[in-house]
Amino acid sequence: MQHKLLTILSICLIGIAVSCNNSKKQDETDPVSDSSLLVNEPSSGVADSADRKYIADMVIAFIKAYNERDNAKIKSFINTDAGLMIIHRPGAMDWFEKVSVLDFNKPIPSYYPYASAENNYSVEYDVAPTFDCSLEKWSKEGLIIDLTTQTNFLGPIAVSLKEFDDVELDPDYEAQIELAEKDSYRVVLTTKTPLIFHVKQIDNSWYVTILDRGYADCGA
């Protein structure tokens, strides 16, 4: 009986190890998938149309300031404590950096300028679309605000970064990640160079807490 239990335990451990290993690999022929990063949990706090209208207006205002490359206006959308987490992909894996301002003359990463996100889309509320690298196509096009999915992008990136001896994360990085991402809403604008960011309510005001420049980057 004991031998049988040990055998079952060994099989389970092997399964977990394989699953973890596979989650780190991305087949370039498959769509960019968030299956390991998105947790489908109902989001509360945006129940009525007035709240949605406020978020939509804020999102449109941010995109306008972004297209006008207005550093000062963009700064008003960044919370002093949360900052702005910028996700990017310098190689085969994602990284993130926390900044207090968005400088259009010094993009992050330096080789990837902040491109125009001019568009004629109207705001839609739906699950954030995914991008298929093999087809170079979005599952849905438009300006989509996802109010139903709790994301978990920064945590797994931090876990991966900690595996490298030459990468140092702030001692309180876990708190910073939670402040930036927990209860945030993902916004996807499927322009030629997509604009993807997260908005979150902090102390009764709304801010942009994450700028995702790594998603849909299929070059790595």
Partners of 143 in the β-ladder: 123, 189
The pLDDT mean for the chain works out to 80
Phi, psi of 38 (to 5 degrees): -105, 130
Name the least confident of 30-34, 154-158, 162-166.
30-34
CA gap 210, 86 in Å, rounded: 6
Task: Tell me how many domains the chain contains.
Answer: 1
DSSP 196-207: EEEEEEETTEEE
User: What does the pLDDT read at residue 14?
Assistant: 36
Average pLDDT over residues 163-192: 86
7 within domain boundaries: no
Burial class of 91 by CB neighbour count within 10 A (0 to 12, 13 to 18, 19+): exposed
H/E run at residue 123: strand 123-125
185 within domain boundaries: yes
16 within domain boundaries: no
pLDDT band at 197 (very low <50, low <70, confident <90, very high): very high
208 within domain boundaries: yes
133 within domain boundaries: yes
pLDDT band at 144 (very low <50, low <70, confident <90, very high): very high
Average pLDDT over residues 9-27: 38
Radius of gyration of the chain (CA): 19
pLDDT digits (tens, 9 = 90+) for 35-50: 334 544 545 456 567 7
18 within domain boundaries: no
Q: Which residue has the tokens 């949605």?
A: 52
User: What does the pLDDT read at residue 138?
Assistant: 96
CA gap 115, 63 in Å, rounded: 11
User: What does the pLDDT read at residue 166?
Assistant: 65
Domain that holds residue 143: 37-212
CA gap 13, 45 in Å, rounded: 39
User: What does the pLDDT read at residue 1?
Assistant: 45
27 within domain boundaries: no
pLDDT digits (tens, 9 = 90+) for 45-85: 565 677 899 999 999 999 999 999 999 999 999 999 999 99
103 within domain boundaries: yes
User: What does the pLDDT read at residue 220?
Assistant: 54
pLDDT digits (tens, 9 = 90+) for 92-141: 778 899 999 999 999 999 999 999 999 999 999 999 999 998 999 999 99
Tell me: cis bond preceding 109? Omega within 30 of 0 counts.
yes
